[in-house]
Structure 1
Amino acid sequence: MNEKTIQGALFEINARWDQLSDSEKKVAAYVLREPKKTLHFTIKELSKQSGSSQAAVIRFCKHLDFASFSNFKLRLARDVFDNNDERYIPDLELESETSAAHVIHTVINRFQRSFSALERSLEAEMLEQAVQCIRTAQTTLLFGVGASGVVAFDFMQKLIRLGLPVFYTHDTDLQLTAASTIRPTDCAFIISYSGEKSDMIEAAKQIKKNQAKLISLTMDSDNTLRMLADIQLVVPASERIYREGASTSRTNQLAVIDILYSLMVSKNLDASIEAIEQTMAVTHRGNEKGKKTSRTS
């Protein structure tokens, strides 16, 4: 027996247009005109943009047999992105003229939920294995692009401060070149929230071909990069793949980096303190020299 085909939201709107009330038609007309923008809105903002009421938006959803406003947006995402996976719905629910107090509460609350989920997602054994891989590697090569590249750069700075050999570049072609020449004695660490970036998957394949250990840091899903990795670190799937910009995912990734850094410091506390103090002394002298030069020039 074949399953019933689930139609997108735009099909349902066009099929049942004549059954909608005048206020519901205002909502429907806006959705048909601006389907991509609609995906970003709350009920309140959609009612404002369409010149209707919040009650009309709720009735509109019920009239078209959508179980909820979220279900309506999931079906609409199928039309806009040709995919009915909820990860492709924009993560932000935007409203115009939102107060600063409301934004503060919303964003902080989102991060609190995300950190709680991160604590449940991380496996201590995987973290220990990752630390061991990095500490014993001849060189640790870091990989990441976009927001994940920012996280990789942060980790590079931390490893340098501990005196550990590390390589990272923002240049994607150079990352792929490094992956193709990696040695079995090296450790590779690829950061990609989706785990499906084509360049990062190609880098992972090159790393595996050269028999180097591979650590991945991805969202908690059965993604390609995670499946290729020897050591799998994950952050919660707190953001959908189509989003305005990484926020909780990036913060979670940075938290994992801080956890790894703290673990590495604790494994060799005396040497770590010495290395940190040495780098602090050098940068402090450099800053003081720069200040003196500027005062005398």
Structure 2
Amino acid sequence: MDDTIPIDGALVAINAHLSTLSDSERKVAEYVFKEPKKTLYFNVRELAKQSDSSQAAVVRFCKRNGFDSFNNFKLRLARDVFRESDERYIPDLELESEPSPGRVIHGVIDRTQRSLASLETTLDPAFVEAAADLIGKASSTFLFGVGASGVVSYDFMQKLIRLGLPVFYTSDTDLQLTAASTLHSGNIAFVVSYSGENETMIEVARLARSRNATVITLTMDTINSIRSFAQIALLVPASERIYRQGAATSRINQLAVIDILYSIMVSKNLEDSIKSIDQTMAVTHKGNPTRH
């Protein structure tokens, strides 16, 4: 990912060229000045609609103000909007009003397929195998994550329990911090955070490392704070921006990594794994063979 952002924001450039804009282009400029943050979430079609202009006018507006492309315009506008918050990424959204269900279905599936294809080249097989081996032999594995990453951790907890392995997870962040402060060298701290910059998870990773636990992280493929504490860093593609509607492809990629780890762990100890899985299924499906 190219994370360089032009030094100058967009608003100064637009203001400098305001007198040269046509009436339709000026409508776009006026909307951008009025709603700069909302503009970041729109594609060309929706910006045209919101500004009561046209798609052609939006394209001309970009060229007239010296932006190489619509994306370059949004990058520079993000410089203005998020200047004080010092965030690195703009929204990974191109929202539009009432798209057809078919269009939404195609878009989500297409993004997911492309993201999963990228995962295959991003994830290091040697690191995955090493992580699976360590978790299988650990005295206990402590899982950490909040929000969507917490959902991923919870899913992994369910899988490890099915294999009869000692595991801990709670969604309570105070308890996560407490647990991290009690780890020891026989424990695994498995820390999930897409951005790798969640403050609570940074502290969890720091505590775990200071307690001589083995730290395994699952973050996006960038240099980040949480990854710096890891003995084993599992990576997913940087497929989403920090500002986004909600974790989508990142969550799917993280869950895919958990499925991969689980499959490797099952295959390494197939007989005992089958026995454990059968035991847990017998308990949860007792009296209800259709339950799953």
TM-score (norm 2): 0.95
Over residues 238-279 of structure 1, what are the superposed CA-to-partner deviations in whole Å (9 max), with x where a residue is unaligned? Answer: 001111100000000000000000000000000000000000
**2 CA distance for matches of 1:75 and 1:86?**
13
Give the alignment's Cα RMSD to 1 decimal.
1.6
Equivalent in the alignment of 2:276 = 275
SS in 2 for 1:285: coil
Cα distance change of structure 1 residues 168 and 6 upon mapping to structure 2, 3 Å threshold: same
**1 CA distance for matches of 2:219 and 2:41?**
24
Matched, 1:100 2:97: no
Over residues 45-89 of structure 1, what are the superposed CA-to-partner deviations in whole Å (9 max), with x where a residue is unaligned? Answer: 100110111110000000000000000000011111118999521
Percent of residue pairs bearing the same amino acid type:
65
Equivalent in the alignment of 2:199 = 198
Equivalent in the alignment of 1:79 = 80
**1 CA distance for matches of 2:220 and 2:86?**
15
More helix by share: 1
Larger radius of gyration: 1
Alignment of 1:1-297 (within 5 A): 6-82=7-83, 88-285=89-286, 287=288
Confirm or deny: 8 A CA contact 1:149 1:191 kept in the other structure: yes
Cα distance change of structure 1 residues 113 and 83 upon mapping to structure 2, 3 Å threshold: farther
**2 CA distance for matches of 1:183 and 1:221?**
28
How many residues of Structure 1 are paired with residues of Structure 2 in the alignment?
Answer: 285
Give the residue type in structure 2 aligned to 1:125: A
TM-score (norm 1): 0.93
Over residues 264-297 of structure 1, what are the superposed CA-to-partner deviations in whole Å (9 max), with x where a residue is unaligned? Answer: 0000000000000000000111657x9xxxxxxx
Cα distance change of structure 1 residues 85 and 71 upon mapping to structure 2, 3 Å threshold: farther
Give the residue type in structure 2 aligned to 1:261: Y
Give the residue type in structure 2 aligned to 1:147: A
Over residues 147-183 of structure 1, what are the superposed CA-to-partner deviations in whole Å (9 max), with x where a residue is unaligned? Answer: 0000000000000000000000000010000000001
Task: List alignment gaps of at least 5 residues for structure 2.
Answer: 1-5
Give the residue type in structure 1 aligned to 2:247: A
Task: List alignment gaps of at least 5 residues for structure 1.
Answer: 291-297
Deviation of 1:6 after TM superposition, in Å, equals: 2.7
SS in 1 for 2:286: helix
Give the residue type in structure 2 aligned to 1:90: P
Over residues 8-53 of structure 1, what are the superposed CA-to-partner deviations in whole Å (9 max), with x where a residue is unaligned? Answer: 1111112221121111100000011111111111101100110111
**1 CA distance for matches of 2:174 and 2:288?**
34
**2 CA distance for matches of 1:189 and 1:286?**
35
Cα distance change of structure 1 residues 98 and 87 upon mapping to structure 2, 3 Å threshold: farther
Over residues 112-159 of structure 1, what are the superposed CA-to-partner deviations in whole Å (9 max), with x where a residue is unaligned? Answer: 100110000010110011011101110000000000000000000000
**2 CA distance for matches of 1:120 and 1:31?**
39
Runs of 4+ in 1 over 6 A off after TM superposition: 83-86
Give the residue type in structure 2 aligned to 1:41: F
